[in-house]
Amino acid sequence: MEYFIQQLINGLTLGSIYGLVAIGYTMVYGIIGMINFAHGDIFMLGGFAALIVFLLATSFFAGIPVALLLLLMLLVGMLMTGLWNWTIERIAYRPLRGSFRLAPLITAIGMSIFLSNFIQVTQGPRNKPIPPLVTDTYHFGAITVSLKQILIVVITSILLFAFWYIVNKTPLGRAQRATEQDRKMAALLGVDVDKTISITFIMGAALAAVAGAMYLMYYGVASFNDGFIPGVKAFTAAVLGGIGSLPGAVLGGLLIGLIESLWSAYFSIAYKDVATFAILAFVLIFKPTGILGRPEVEKV
C-alpha cells in the first residue's frame, strides 16, 4: 500500500508537469485548430532559460536564497519563452492562418526541428547537469515526499487557478473563448483576434516554461532533445483529456503521469511509453473525442 501511494505521488508530480505543457497544446488547438508541434521545444527552451539563469545568478550572487533563485528562473523563463512563442506565431503561423490545414502543421514541425537544432548548435549536444536545488525530503511512515515534489504540485495548482481565473473571469478570457467559438464573428464584434491569439501563445509558452524549469529542477539535467518525448506525452495528455478542453488537459496530464509511474512500478519500465500510447489509442477508439471533449458536430 505504501508503495502504491509512493508511486501515486511520483505520478502526480510528473502529471503536473505534463498537464502544464498540455494546456499550451490544447489552448492553441482550441483557438486556431492547429497542432503546435513546436510546443514541446518551447518547453525545452524554458528549461534552458532556467538553466542559464541559474548559472548566471549563482555566479553573480553567490549565496542567493533558493526561493528567490527559483522565482527568478521561473520568471525569466516565462518571459523568454513567451517572447519566443510570440515571435514564432508572428513569423511562422500567422501568415498561414486561413491557408489550408496542413501548411501550419508543416511549419510547426519545421519550427520544432529548428528549435531543438538551434539549441544543439548554440549550447552543445551534451546533457547539462546542474547541482540539486532543493534537497529536503519528508518521511511519512514508509512514504517519502521530497520538497521539490511538493513545490511542483503547489506551483502547478497556483498557476492552474490563476489560469482558470483568467480564462473564465476576465475580459481577456472572454475574448479568448469568443475567438475559440467563432473567429470571424468575434472579429465582427470587436475582439482583436490577432492580439488574442498572440496572447494565447504567450500564455501557453509561459506555462510550458514553468513546466520546463520544474522538469530541470526535478531531474537536474537539461538536453536539447528534451522537447520531443515530454512534448509528445503532453500532447497525448491533451488529446486524452479531449483537445480544446482546459480541465481535460490537466486531467489528461495527471492520467498520463499516473499511468507512466504505476506502469513502471508494477510492470516494466521499458514499456512505460508503450503503455501510455496504447492507452491513448484505446481511449480514442472507444471515445473518439477524448474524455472531456465535446462531440464534434458534422455539418454538411
Give me the residues that bind other proteins (CB under 8 A), please: 29, 35, 45, 48-49, 51-53, 55-56, 59, 76, 80, 83-84, 87, 91-92, 95-96, 99-107, 109-115, 117-124, 126, 128-130, 228, 232, 235-236, 239, 243, 270-271, 273-274, 277-278, 280-281, 284-285, 288-290, 296, 298, 300
| Cα separation, 46 vs 50, whole angstroms | 6
Following DSSP, what letter does each residue of 110-149 receive, concatenated? HHHHHHHHHHHHHH-SS-EE---S---EEEETTEEEEHHH
| Cα separation, 173 vs 190, whole angstroms | 14
We find the least distance from the C-beta atom of residue 104 to other proteins, in angstroms, to be 8
C-alpha cell at 221: 539535467
Closer Cβ to other proteins, 25 or 218, answer by number: 25
Supply φ then ψ for residue 138, to 5 degrees.
Answer: -120, 145
We find the least distance from the C-beta atom of residue 258 to other proteins, in angstroms, to be 18
We find the least distance from the C-beta atom of residue 151 to other proteins, in angstroms, to be 22
We find the least distance from the C-beta atom of residue 252 to other proteins, in angstroms, to be 12
We find the least distance from the C-beta atom of residue 110 to other proteins, in angstroms, to be 3
Q: CA-CA distances (angstroms) from residue 196 to 28, 89, 160, 178?
A: 11, 12, 19, 10
